Every structure is written in C-alpha cells, then in structure tokens.
Amino acid sequence: MKIGSVILVAAITVTLLMAQTMNSASAEPPAKVKLNPSGEQKENLEQEQHNVELNHSEPRAIPVERAYNELGYDDGWELSGHAWTCAGSGYAVRFTPLTYPVDLQTARINFWPNWPNIYHERFAIYVYAGDSRDRQPGTCLGGPVYHTATNWYWNDVDISGLGITIERGDFYILYLQLSGYPDCEALSFDRGQPYYGRSWNYSGGSWSLSQQAYNYMIRCVVKTQENDIGVFRNGQWILSARYRFNFGNPTDIPVTGDWNGDGESTIGVYRNGQWILRDSNSAGAADYRFNFGNPTDIPVTGDWNDDGESTIGVYRNGQWILRDSNSAGAADYRFNYGNPTDKPVTGDWNGDGESTIGVYRKIYGQWILRNSNSAGSADYRFNFGNPTDKPVTGDWNDDGECTIGVYRNGQWILRNSNSAGSADYRFNFGNPTDKPVTGDWDGA
C-alpha cells in the first residue's frame, strides 16, 4: 500500500562502518558461501565496506497483520533502505520466540522499492543461534537458502527445509547480499518507536549491533505445537497467519470443529438456529446446512463421544442440548449445568479424548468445568480473567488437554493449566470487537 507519493532521490548518504566505532566482534563467515568477488570488490570488502542509505522520503505503510506465530520487531512502516557496497555482507535480526519449541518456517524480508535499481536480485538467508557472548550470532544452524526477490516490500523465503527447531534461547535471521550496490536489493528499516536493539550488521567476517535507532524489517514465521487462534470479523475469518477469507454474515455466530474427522479444524456459522458448516478453511459453499436449536441459543461444538469428529449443540438458559451428528434431529444429551447468564465453554479438560462442558461466570471471571457431559458438581472451579473478557479454550501446549484463556480487547491471555494463576502466553491478535475462534487449522 502506498501512502501519498514517494520521490526517489538520486543522492545517497554513505556511512563508513569502521570496526573501531561499531563495537564489533569477530565471527566466522556464513558457512557454505561461495563468492568470487573481483579484485576491486575484495579490496573494498576487506578495507572500507560501505553501508549505503537512501535519502529519506515519506514513509510507506506495510498493511500486514502480524499473528502470534510471526515474529518481528518493526513497526510496519518502511522509512528507507540500506545496502552494502560489496557482496558478502548483510543484515540480521535477533528473534525471541513467545514459547518453545518452535519450527522455523519462513523468513520475511522487506525491500525498499525501486532502489538501488528496478531489477530484482538473488540473495541468501542464513539462520544462527544466539549462543555467543553478548547475544551475538553464534553457531550457524542452517543456510544458505538462495532466493531471488520477486517484488518490493515483503518477500517470503521458505526455510522449513532446513529442519531447524528452536528449543530455547534466541536465534537470528541473516539476509546476505550476493551482489553489491547498486546491483542488489535495499533492506527496508523503520524509525518508529520502540527501538528494540535487535538489528545487526555483518561485514568483513564480523558482527556488530546497529547503533542506529531503527529496526531492520526482517521477520520470521514459526510453527508451534500449540492450538491455533483466529478471529471472526464481520463475516471475515482471519486464522493465524495462514488464512483470510469471507464466510458467513456479519451477524452470524462463528463456530469451529473437525466436522469430518480428518484432524483439521474448519469453520462454520450459527444463524438463527441454522448451522452452516464447511470442511475447508476457505470461502465457498457449505458442506453441511441444517437446523438445530433456537435463534436465541448459544452454539457449542465438541467431540462428545470420542469418535474423532466434532458435532454440534446449544446452550439454552443453563440447559445443554447436544447431538452426536452434524444434522437435524433429536438431542443425544440433554441436561442442566450452569446459570442462564453464564457463557458456555467446551474442551477435553482431562485428555481422555472426549469434549465435555463448562461455563464461564463472567461476573466473577470464574471457570466451572466438568469432565462428564451430564448434570453434577464441578471438577474444576477457579478464577481467571475479568468480567468483560471473552472465554477461549484450546490445547495450547499440545499435551492432549484443553485449557483456558481469555480474549481481552484484541489481546490473548492463555494458561496451560485449568487453575488460577498467571498467564503462560500473552500476545495481541485481532481487534477489540472481533470474535475469537480457536482450532487446529492445519491438522498438525
């Protein structure tokens, strides 16, 4: 997206990167790099490698909604670009996962448009561990992954083939130029606040922390073993960083579940007593359409009988009415549990493969859960959340048990135990008016 008009200025500012002024530290060059610079290039690389910066012009907005599994520290506004004068140098960003372990999937590199030239060039991506002193890049975990830029702004590089899993600590993504200025891409940077101090330079075989108060626009998409999250926004589904599509009307109530037993959670809506479900996380026609419940009921879903398929039900003024088939018909379970003003929740609280029931009593922020789909006393009773929060449930750490969380004005606050205590995960995804949804979108 372009905000206003941008005029590229021919003049450039050249900043000499000297080892004695940049607090640099010796490091091994990237493994497996095979470069054969000319004599002139080699002399520049060893003696006076330059970092070329475009004169500043109006910032450009990057309309990308970052999910909890996309790590990045820029503010989404590219202000200008950097490029090294010689091949074999680059830029890196230090990443800290929100939880562990994570599998590295995609490196995202943002290039300043039309500079230094209008042509796209080849570059390489490396991954380093944060196991060196002073949080500098240490062991090379993988690379090179070669890629030719395909557009300005964000370019996605698949690094899943490196098979890198981060089990603790930080890691770095290095963007390495395979050609020098002007025959190269210019890495974008922001100048917004806060400045995170995670941007690094690689030149002449040494690493140095950038001394400029801006963030390099490099991001990394990771895959966790957690249950995925998403939001429903006026008929649009935004599921993690993977899917964005329209299905349903703005006034529909979103529902999710594994309708066909393939291990993948997909989407649906509840509309005035009608269920409209789809076996794919995409726009398209419904795979199931039937009536079950009243217009004022609250829809619920779960695998009530441990057959591997999610089916439907409703919560009606404290009464649960559940069915073992995604079709119209009589209820298979009918019982009372909770108060008329409670919010129903479902999940496999004890890891036995069967979804059971519970309520979130908003006035107290209290969870009241039961391990059986029947009337009776609670198996878990504790407080977590505020009266205005929206309750969410999922298997956040892939241990086979569903636990609790709340959605608060676009912030997810999740816990790995069905008990009172502090949050294990806290991150932003979505807008305050969105409706939160959870599910295993990719079946992993």
pLDDT digits 0-9 by tens, 118-147: 788 999 999 999 998 777 899 999 999 999
Bridge partners of residue 393, in order along the sequence: 404
DSSP one-letter code for 388: T
Per-residue pLDDT, averaged over 152-161, amounts to 93
Per-residue pLDDT, averaged over 13-22, amounts to 28
State yes or no: pLDDT of 7 exceeds 60: no
Q: pLDDT higher for 355 or 76?
A: 355
| Spatial distance between the Cα atoms of 188 and 110, rounded to a whole number of angstroms | 6
| Spatial distance between the Cα atoms of 351 and 354, rounded to a whole number of angstroms | 8
User: What is the structure's pLDDT at 53?
Assistant: 55
What's the Rg (C-alpha) of the chain? 26
Residue whose entry in the numeric block shows the structure tokens 């075989």: 205
| Spatial distance between the Cα atoms of 269 and 249, rounded to a whole number of angstroms | 8
pLDDT band at 417 (very low <50, low <70, confident <90, very high): very high
List the structure tokens of 235. Answer: 């008929």
Bridge partners of residue 399, in order along the sequence: none
User: Are 144 and 32 contacting, i.e. CB atoms less than 8 angstroms apart?
Assistant: yes
Kindly report the pTM of this predicted structure. 0.60
User: What is the structure's pLDDT at 40?
Assistant: 33
Residue-wise burial string across 170-203, b where 16 or more C-beta atoms lie within 10 A, e elsewhere: bbbbbbbbbbbbeebbbbbbbbeeebeebbbbbb
Quick: pLDDT tens for 67-89.
Answer: 457 899 998 888 889 899 999 99
Per-residue pLDDT, averaged over 279-283, amounts to 97
Per-residue pLDDT, averaged over 96-114, amounts to 87
Residues 6+ apart with CB under 8 A from 255: 267, 268, 269, 270, 275, 277, 299, 301, 312
Q: pLDDT higher for 290 or 150?
A: 290
The domains of the chain are located at 12-223, 225-439
Residues 6+ apart with CB under 8 A from 199: 91, 92, 93, 189, 209, 210, 212, 214, 215, 216
